[in-house]
Structure 1
């Protein structure tokens, strides 16, 4: 040993020297655990390196050789196991990790993922995924994984967020939307009725008049729907007893009560089967509905005895029926007439396309509902609460949705329907 001071040792091995320093930890038998780095040609340089490492240990910023050599796959497993997310977020992160992040970084250590490696992956994923939004989601998950690795496994995270380097790229253009006309909704509803009957007709109107997410509509059970709710509420949470009592006084069928739907769950596919899970972001909420829609819902529930308010053609859950493939394209893009051949499906008249929605997502009906509420000038807090969004800051803390706000929403939606009906009767 050539030099020794403050638990730092320098020793020569062949033509190079190695420095050893105390890691601050102990072996099980009480001996100090040392770390080392070799390849130095200058003894003073090696010694100074050891002192720097000791200083980092005292400051709590040091990364041990053992931690620095952790494989990315091992860290990803540990990170994901420690996360606690809502079902849909958990499912999305798992898919991103298994499909994109884990295969790319297999065999690499966390310490090897520096700024250059991070940029290389970003370029790779942007070329692989045609949608900028999808690529951004992947980079967001990787960013969280690397951020949480610092300072234990890496000194600083290589994630770049503020400074822009390289060629300028214009920000992604938002999805182009058209103003949602009630005439388009009416045609979608009529098309849906051709595709899967009266449940389809009412479902489209329900989405347009409540802004419910597709999974929430597919998972709506009859006990959470007007006219049964709130008297039929299973009341599963004892801590919500006060709300249950207030709901009976505020919502339902009868004089002074407001017809409403309770968003209590959504459905998602889990390993090939339909699972009932909490709504996105745990956005449990009550949605008042205009009188015309209340009448439709009452008629619909009287027409069948299925568990789901909007059952699929075979009576099961729309969430497991391939709605986006077997239903929505015909509803939005239209379809040719279908004659009945021996042993085939039932005949069906031609379905006209709805230009505002052809090739678009059904989710845009939800967006259109919010636009309608904004046009009518309702309270921002009432609108965001109806959409299942959290309102930040003081406004979110002190505001509440009042009966007057809910009645104003009901009236505005009913007025929109009645004006549409009046236009239709004049044109006949």
Structure 2
């Protein structure tokens, strides 16, 4: 039975937590500030009810500081490398500073609203705000599961307040002329590797980190004969690849996406592709010829080396290379391969836009050409849900149709750079 006692003008109630101290005595908790003895007693009875039914949250658990909980929560996660890096940054830069002086059990709905308002002031990107709030929501859900609080303070499916239509990134159609313009600028910046890289991204839809991490072993014309074959469970696929892809009569030229490069512990490391989207990407004849010639032109293990011969990820490609390639640059502005100082014209389709939109354009091309949805999504490294994903497969005719339509786009392009790429 709870015990009520008066102290000055208010009373407090004490109740047994169901726990026993090391010395054998019962551990009690209390709450004060009541001015009505009956209300205090009712609160104590409610607490004892929760103890009996195993749903109580002790004051001690709820008092865990938010920074301490966030550190423990992050340490318990086992996610892909890129996700771990992003979560750590979100927690360190945004969540910890805002809730630094709060306990886990103190954070309420109004705090969540205040946090959202704060993020809106410091993060102009809606996607960035969503990412931060997503991590916060998961941490609070797990705090409930860990018995640190009864419910999450995160509001879901709330219909109150002003309706705001979601903004979508404005994109322009990706014409072959725009890709050629990007490729020409990239050629000026870092030579044949730049030209071929742009056309490879436009024709395969590979993610930037997958392109940066592409090595000779997984690129035409060496692959699949040069496949490192690190997974013994993939023996059947290795055998099938040898009779389906490669250089020679009846074989289809292809690139194998097996890894990407990311930074870890201050250095570049190989990681599985995003969502473990291992896949084989057939390439059209014109691109196969360019890849073969490019690999004869340099000795780097990277298919697309930087100006210095290193990895494009280390060169900060998005900032140093992509911005001049897409936005244009003056004659003596930005990086250039040795002896090359030409000005770069802007490419209006991509001015101020992300490199990733070339990948988006690659998918749009396949959609425009009417290819199988399963073949397109598989090529992009996406999982196809439901029965379609279970029963469908990418067939040889599907792959040949993709090669044919991409080759036709290339051949429709007037004034291609052609052999001048290698001069």
Residue 40 of structure 2 is matched in structure 1 by 46
What is aligned with 1:368? 361
| Secondary structure of the corresponding residue to residue 295 of structure 1 | helix
Equivalents in 1 of 2:85, 2:240: separation in Å? 35
Counterpart Cα distance in 1 of 2:22 and 2:5: 26
- CA apart distance, 1:129: 1.0
CA contact (8 A) 1:334 1:354 kept: yes
Gapped regions of structure 1 (runs ≥ 5): none
User: CA offset at residue 423 of structure 1?
Assistant: 9.8
Instruction: Give how far 1:273 is off.
Output: 2.6
Residue in structure 1 matched with residue 324 of structure 2 by the alignment: 330
User: 1:409-428 counterparts in 2 under 5 A?
Assistant: 409-421=402-414
> How far did residue 170 of structure 1 move?
2.1
Give the unaligned 5+ runs of structure 2: 419-423
The residue correspondences of 1:280-359 to structure 2 (distance < 5 A) are 280-338=274-332, 346-359=339-352
* Superimposed CA distance per residue, residues 153-209 of structure 1 (whole angstroms, 9 cap, x where no aligned partner): 22111111211333x252232111111000110111111111101010100000000
Q: Which of 376, 380, 388 is 1:387 aligned to?
A: 380
| Shift in CA distance, 42/349, structure 1 to aligned 2, threshold 3 Å | closer
How far does the alpha carbon of each residue in 1:50-84 deviate from its partner, in whole angstroms, 9 at most, with x for none? 21112222333321111111111111111111112
Closer, same or farther: CA 108–337 of 1 in aligned 2, 3 Å: same
Q: 1:13–1:337: structure 2 CA closer, same or farther, 3 Å change rule?
A: closer
- Paired residues of 2:189 and 2:325 also in contact (CA < 8 A): yes
How far does the alpha carbon of each residue in 1:16-75 deviate from its partner, in whole angstroms, 9 at most, with x for none?
A: 433222222333344433222223333332222121112222333321111111111111
Q: In 2, Cα distance between the equivalents of 1:27 and 1:396?
A: 56
Query: Quick check: 1:211–1:370 contact (8 Å CA) kept in 2?
Result: yes
State the secondary structure of the residue aligned to 1:261. Answer: strand
Rounded to whole Å, the distance in 2 between the matches of 1:335 and 1:25 is 70
Structure-2 change in CA distance of 1:414 and 1:345 (3 Å): closer
Query: C-alpha separation between the residues in 2 aligned to 1:316 and 1:423?
Result: 28
Counterpart of 2:156? 161
Cα deviations by residue, 1:282-331 (Å, 9 ceiling, x for unpaired): 11111111111111111111111111000001100001002122211221
Correspondences of 1:112-191 after superposition (within 5 Å): 112-150=106-144, 152-166=147-161, 168-191=162-185
> Secondary structure of the residue that 2:143 maps to in structure 1?
coil
Aligned to 1:400: 393
Q: 1:29 to 1:241 in 2, by over 3 A?
A: farther
**What aligned pairs does 1:77-96 form with structure 2 within 5 A after superposition?**
77-96=71-90
Offset, 1:357: 1.1
1:423 and 1:301 map into 2 onto residues whose CA distance is 21
Partner of 2:421: none
What SS does structure 2 have at the residue aligned with 1:223?
helix
Say yes or no: does 1:200 pair with 2:194: yes
User: 2:269 matched to 1:275?
Assistant: yes
- Aligned mate of 1:22, from 16, 23, 47: 16
Q: How many residues align?
A: 414
Return the TM-score normalized by structure 2: 0.93
Q: C-alpha separation between the residues in 1 aligned to 2:82 and 2:168?
A: 23
> Residues 13 and 216 of structure 1: is their aligned pair in 2 closer, same or farther, counting only changes over 3 Å?
same
